[in-house]
Amino acid sequence: MSEFMGKTAIVSGAALGMGNLISRRLAEEGAKVLLTDIDLAKVEETAKAIQAKGGRAEAVRTDVRQYGEVENAVNTAKEEFGSVDFLFNFAGGSPSRVFGRTESFAQRDPALLEWGIDVNLRGALFFCRAVFPFMIENKGGVIVNIGSIDGVTGSSAVEYSAAKSGMTGLTKSLALVGASHGIRAVCVIPGPVLTRPEMANMKTLLGRAGKPEELVDFILFLCSDKAAFITGSSHLIDGGRACGAMSCTRP
């Protein structure tokens, strides 16, 4: 029996990509999953697909920039499923890509800078704050923050890289304040993962982008009892891209 059986997981950014995939995988492992995203139609579609297979899932529209909406999502998980055991902070994205903007940093609209920080860092902070009382009540829990290789190497998406690098400090701080309550926090820093075709163009030492399943398997390991001694740490899963940044070549 999976150790996730009967546990409750909240996933932000669950409409697409890795957030969507891990939501489905957690449900397959027997977890009760609350899918949150600003795109309600997408998370409702996934929740219904999980339910059709006999799993337990609910969907809540959540703008991670608004603490009230984050708190509502967390309260819903507690009310519907009885606990909050895992939090996965997947919500994020580069505003240049999301909004199709091509201007350089020197000409970038300050509103895009604000969006980049709010969605990629403040939203994760809000979710962590909202789940902490329930994890303290449970005498334990695991928080997984999702960074980015761009937060390690830097990138022209300045606000995105800045926010994602902040996930490391957030994770360490959560580990410090959570340890006495049995709460662990980890940060996973993906390199290129094939959730979008263009990821295949990002160079790595291993000569390929990661498979989504490789990232999910690693995250689930970090949440498991096998990783019970791991907290406050950040974990690169990037095919070695950080070793040679954008000029990765294999000998």
Q: What is the mean pLDDT of residues 201-220?
A: 92
Domain boundaries, the chain: 8-247
pTM of the predicted model as reported, rounded to 2 decimal places = 0.94
Q: Are 191 and 204 in contact (CB under 8 A)?
A: yes
Give the tens place of pLDDT for each residue, 35-88. 999 999 999 999 999 999 999 999 999 999 999 999 999 999 999 999 999 999
Strand partners, 8: 32
CA–CA gap between residue 167 and residue 144 (Å, rounded) = 10
Q: What is the mean pLDDT of residues 177-189?
A: 98
Q: Hey, is 117 helix, strand or coil?
A: helix
More confident residue, 229 or 251: 229
CA–CA gap between residue 170 and residue 182 (Å, rounded) = 17
Strand partners, 187: 145, 234
Q: CA torsion sign, 144 to 15 to 82 to 49?
A: negative
Band of the pLDDT at 246, cuts 50, 70, 90? Answer: low
Tokens 């990821």, residue located: 199
Q: Hey, is 105 helix, strand or coil?
A: helix
Structure tokens at 154: 């830097």
67 a catalytic residue: no
> Which entry of 86, 115, 134, 160 is annotated as an active-site residue?
160
CA–CA gap between residue 127 and residue 164 (Å, rounded) = 15
Q: Are 147 and 188 in contact (CB under 8 A)?
A: yes
Band of the pLDDT at 251, cuts 50, 70, 90? Answer: very low
The domain covering 8-247 belongs, at the CATH homologous superfamily level, to: NAD(P)-binding Rossmann-like Domain (3.40.50.720)
Question: For helices 123-138 and 67-81, what crossing angle results, to 10°?
Answer: 30
Give the tens place of pLDDT for each residue, 101-156. 999 999 999 999 999 999 999 999 999 999 999 999 999 999 999 999 999 999 99
CA–CA gap between residue 151 and residue 203 (Å, rounded) = 16
Band of the pLDDT at 247, cuts 50, 70, 90? Answer: low
Give the tens place of pLDDT for each residue, 168-181. 999 999 999 999 99
On average, the pLDDT of the chain sits at: 94
Tokens 């360490």, residue located: 172
Burial 72-89 (b: 16+ CB within 10 A, else e): bbbebbbeebebbbbbbb
pLDDT of 1 over the 60 cut: no
Number of C-beta neighbours around residue 128 at 10 A: 23
Structure tokens at 35: 């899918």
Q: Are 43 and 54 in contact (CB under 8 A)?
A: no
